[in-house]
Amino acid sequence: MMTEYLRAAKIKPSPRLATALFYGIKTDTDNFVRASIPNDINAFRYLYPFANIHIVKMIESSEMTRKTLTSFRAALENLVFFKDKAWIHMGKVKDPDILVILADFFLKLVESAWCIVSGVYGQKLIVIFRHAGFRLDAGKVAQKLFGQWGPAGGHKSAARAEISVDELPAPSQKEPELKQFILNQIKGM
C-alpha cells in the first residue's frame, strides 16, 4: 500500500525506503510462494530499480548466529514426528523470532507436510504453523486449535497463535502440562 501511495504522489523512494519496502514484500509473500495480489507484483517490480539488492542479500543471509545454532541444537533434541507433522516445543525462549526461523527450516523435512513450533515468550504461548500442502489452511487450523484462548490465524501456508498463558486451562499453564496441552491440541488436526 505504501508503494501505491508513493507512486500516486509521484514520489521517488529513497534507496533505504525502497529496500525496506522491497524486502517487506519478499517476506510477506515468501518470495511469491504465498498468495499474493497483482499489486504486490507491481510494487515489487517498481521498487526493484531503487532498492539496494546487496543489502537485501545481507539481510537474508544473516539470520544465523551462535545463539541461533544453540536453538537449532535444542530443536533437534525436541523434534517429534507424528503422521505428517513435525513438532518442536522449545519451552521458554528469549526471542520469539527463533520459533519462526525453526518452523521455516524444519518444514523442509521430506517426511512432514506440517511443522509446528511452540514456545513461551514472557507470559505468552506462541505456536507457529507452517504447511507445505495444498488442501488445508494453516490460518484456519491455528484458529480452530487455539482461537478460543487468544488471537490465532494467518495464511494458507503460515500461521501463528499467541495466547496469554493465563488464558489457558489452569493445569496447562506450567511445564510439562503446557507441552502436553499443545501436543493434545495439534494431534487433533
Of residues 82, 136, 134, 79, the one with CA closest to residue 103: 79
DSSP letter assigned to residue 171: G
pLDDT of 43 strictly over 80: yes
pTM to 2 decimals? 0.74
Q: What's the angle, vertex CA 133, arms to CA 156 and CA 81, rounded to 5?
A: 110
pLDDT of 63 strictly over 70: no
DSSP letter assigned to residue 116: E
pLDDT of 171 strictly over 80: no
> Domain limits of the chain?
2-61, 67-187
**pLDDT band, very low/low/confident/very high, at 142 (cuts 50, 70, 90):** very high
Q: Report the range of poorest mean pLDDT among 32-36, 87-91, 122-126.
A: 32-36
Sheet order of strands, 124-131 included:
80-82, 85-92, 114-121, 124-131, 158-164, 152-154
Average pLDDT over residues 149-178: 88
Q: What is the pLDDT of residues 70-95, one digit of tens each?
A: 999 999 999 999 888 999 999 999 99
67-187 to CATH, choices 3.10.310.30, 3.30.565.10, 1.20.200.10, 3.20.20.140: 3.10.310.30
Rounded to an integer, what is the distance from CA 147 to the centroid of its chain? 17
